[in-house]
Amino acid sequence: MLESSELFDPKSALRQNSEPFTGIASGPFSEDFPGAIAALGVHPSQPNGLQNPESIPQGLSPRESALWEDFARFFPEFSRPSHQPRDPLETLGLQMLQVRMVQSPNLTDADSRIDEEQVLSVTRDHLTDWNGGDSHATPSLTGTPENPLPTSGPLNPESGPGDTIATALPIAIAGLESGDRALQFEPNQTVVGQVSTNHPEDFYRFSLEHPGIFTAELTNLTGDADLRLVRDFNGNSIIDPVADRNGNGMIDPEEIEIIAWQPHRGTSDESIRQFLDPGTYTLQAIAFNHNTTNYSLTTQFTPSPTDPQAFALQLNFGPGTEILTDAHRQTIRKAADRIEQMVTQSPFNVPHTLIVDIESGDFGPGFLASAGPTRVRRLDTAPIPVHGEVVFNTNPESDLLDHPRYLYDTMVHELTHVVGFGTLWEDYQAIADYNQGLYDANTFAGQVYGEMLGTFIPTPVELTVNVGEGSDLGHWRKNPTFDNEIGVEAGHPNEQQVTSALTLASLRDLGWTVNYGAVEEYILPQFRSPFA
């Protein structure tokens, strides 16, 4: 996905290992790309040379010819018809990738539109499909039945729009019970309990001496309840919201105290799975929206030195990144860590490392970056990214390298595109209305949006439309709906983007196991106090 000045988006099928000209296989995103294109006599704002084949210069070297072809493919709206895949097994279909745009914080949607000749967009050609036979199995949970009924924590206040914890879901932060009031719990055990308006949560504390895989499940539910796994990193007996408490401009692991939480609505079973280091942890069974709910809680712990379903991002710094300082590289790595905080495990039965190539170059003042998956692997019929790419602009006018938080937010945004946000929505049929720009209500994201609105009714999510061909239908709509949420089409160096449960729910729609506890506090602009 390509973006243009405020955070980036995915360009997905650039640079796959395929035959020349089936994508941007020759790697034009290097420091000499703009100069090479200029040498060919074509400027992005003057595309007529590409539209007229007779104007293509004669006697080009092989590299110049490759750059010319790639440039034509890089600007498909200026070019001749793009190459159609010859092998249907190599592609998930041609899809337009989005452009992220430079925007002043005070601009409206109409003001932020850019001329079509300024939009950088690419066609996602040849998204390679690796067929895989792995399936995702939910761990079975067993334990020794016991029936203690523990005491509860303090009463949660009534919830409504804007009553968010770190997740934007309407459940207030509660104090962790201390001493005898939290049940001391064995990590292989079954208990029964009840939560309600007057008894909204139960706490179960346990300690581990060895690392391993911890699973927990709420079953036999008579109402709606959530299950969360908590680690009180700072020892203050409070589940603190996700925030940059140490002031380094990023979200660090110890700033996320709800370390596992992926809720269902209704009476469906709740389950979590997490690789845990030695330490003390607390399970929280909590009534959703003050439902009275009976439940059975079953847990199991299996010692293991490593996680057999670990998920990780591997960053490969390539052409053009030589100019990055150690601080820049650390910031980009922190952004990758942020994705690992949100996606908690491999969707396969084996570890999954998503390889991401990082490249950069000076592409002029209008372009910010591009990103997206370049290879996928099938899980049943669903595409799961296994390889991706982020290319960003080092032009001084992009402001990217001079603002650490802007670089961090931009890379978080782009890496969400690598894992599929905005780039794989069509493959999962997540877009319900292409004309109005609406994400399907019958999804986890639609469910979360209804909870953000306080209606608790799954609601279509507004997407970017009429901003630019490369940006539309690949982002949450910035104005007037989602403002500084990480998934909108534009950000700004002077604002901080935040990752809400809405974006995380969209990743869940794409088949990822996620932790809603990893998201930052977020309130929809319509519910914010004008004096805040």
Residue 327 and residue 299 share a domain:
no
The answer to whether residue 524 sits within a structural domain is no
Nearest to 373 by CA among 129, 133, 131: 129
The average pLDDT across 231-238 equals 91
Global pTM value: 0.74
Answer for the pair 346, 352: CB distance below 8 angstroms, yes or no: yes
Please say which residue of 303, 321, 353 terminates a domain: 303
Residues 144, 19: Cα–Cα separation, whole Å: 58
Residue 117 has pLDDT above 50, yes or no: no
Q: Name the token pair of 27.
A: 């790697």
Q: Of all residues in the chain, what percent carry a pLDDT higher than 90?
A: 53
Domain shared by 94 and 192, yes or no: no
Q: What is the mean pLDDT of residues 52-63?
A: 42
Residue 68: inside a domain: no
Answer yes or no: do 211 and 339 share one domain: no
Q: Are 248 and 384 members of one domain?
A: no
Q: What local confidence, expressed as pLDDT, does residue 185 receive?
A: 73
Rounded Cα–Cα distance for residues 185 and 202 (Å): 12
For residues 373-400, average pLDDT: 91
Q: Which residues contact 87 (CB under 8 A, 6 or more apart)?
A: none
Amino acid, res. 303: P
- Does position 215 have pLDDT exceeding 50, yes or no? yes
What pLDDT does 412 receive? Answer: 97
Dig out the tokens for 229 from the structure.
């796994």
Specify whether 328 is located in the same domain as 474.
Answer: yes
Provide the domain limits for residue 274: 179-303
- 509: which residues sit within 8 A by CB, 6+ positions away? 428, 430, 443, 444, 445
Which of 251, 281, 303 corresponds to the end of one domain?
A: 303
When pLDDT is cut at 50, 70 and 90, the band that residue 250 belongs to is very high
Amino acid letter, 292: T
Q: Which residues contact 81 (CB under 8 A, 6 or more apart)?
A: none
- What is the domain count for the chain? 2
Residue 409 lies in a domain: yes
What phi, psi does 482 have (nearest 5°)?
Answer: -115, -5
**Same domain, yes or no, for 299 and 328?**
no
Is the pLDDT confidence value at 154 over 90? Answer: no
Q: Which two tokens stand for residue 301?
A: 């712990």
Collapsed DSSP state (helix, strand, coil) of residue 412: helix
Position 37 in a domain: no
Q: State which H helix or E strand residue 383 sits in.
A: strand 382-393
Q: Which residue has the tokens 């960053």?
A: 315
Question: What CA–CA distance (Å, rounded) separates 478 from 111?
Answer: 12
pLDDT for residue 100: 52
Using CA atoms, how far residue 252 sits from 63, 91, 228, in Å, is 44, 37, 19
Supply the CATH number for residue 265's domain.
2.60.120.380
Q: What is the DSSP letter of 525?
A: G
Residue 230 β-bridge partners? 258, 282
Residue 137 has pLDDT above 50, yes or no: no
User: pLDDT band at 381, cuts 50/70/90?
Assistant: confident
pLDDT at 15: 29
Q: Is residue 173 part of a domain?
A: no
Which pLDDT band, with edges at 50, 70 and 90, does 48 fall under?
A: very low
Contact 228, 284 (CB under 8 A): yes
Q: How far apart are the first and last CA of the chain?
A: 34
Mean pLDDT of the residues in the chain? 73
Q: Are residues 288 and 370 in the same domain?
A: no
User: HSE (CB half, 13 Å, CA atoms) of 135?
Assistant: 4
* Domain-located, residue 291: yes
Query: Any idea how long the chain is?
Result: 532
Q: Which residues contact 133 (CB under 8 A, 6 or more apart)?
A: none
Asked whether residue 490 carries a pLDDT value surpassing 80, the answer given is yes
Check whether the bond before 480 is cis (ω within 30° of 0): yes
Specify the pairing of strand 270-276 against strand 212-219. Answer: antiparallel
**Residue 2's pLDDT band (cuts 50, 70, 90):** low
Residue 504 has pLDDT above 70, yes or no: yes
Domain boundary among 303, 319, 349: 303
Is residue 153 domain-resident? no
Averaged pLDDT, 45-59: 35
| One-letter identity of residue 380 | D
**Would you place residue 473 in the very low, low, confident or very high pLDDT band (cuts 50, 70, 90)?**
very high
Q: Kindly indicate the confidence band of residue 125, based on its pLDDT and cuts at 50, 70 and 90.
A: very low
Q: Assess whether 356 and 499 both reside in one domain.
A: yes
Name 316's bridge partners: 357
Reported as a single tens digit per residue, the pLDDT across 273-302 is 999 999 999 999 999 888 899 999 999 999
Helix count and strand count (H, E) for the chain: 8, 20
The reported pLDDT for the residue numbered 531 is: 63
Question: Hey, what are 231's tokens?
Answer: 């680690």
Using alpha carbons only, give the angle 393, 399, 404 rounded to the nearest 5 degrees. 100
| Cβ contact 270:217 at 8 Å | yes
Comparing 104 with 150, the larger pLDDT belongs to 104
Same domain for 297 and 415? no
Looking at the fold, whether 502 and 355 belong to one and the same domain comes out as yes
**At 420, is the pLDDT very low, low, confident or very high (cuts 50, 70, 90)?**
very high
Together in a domain, 265 and 314: no
Domain contains 74: no
Residue 353 sits in the same domain as residue 491? yes
Contact 375, 385 (CB under 8 A): yes
59-110 pLDDT tens trace: 544 533 443 344 334 333 322 222 233 322 223 332 334 445 544 334 444 3
pLDDT classification of 3: cutoffs 50, 70, 90: low
Tell me the average pLDDT across 245-269. Answer: 94
> Which tops the pLDDT comparison, 249 or 119?
249
CA gap 80, 289 in Å, rounded: 55
In the predicted model, is pLDDT for residue 348 greater than 80? yes
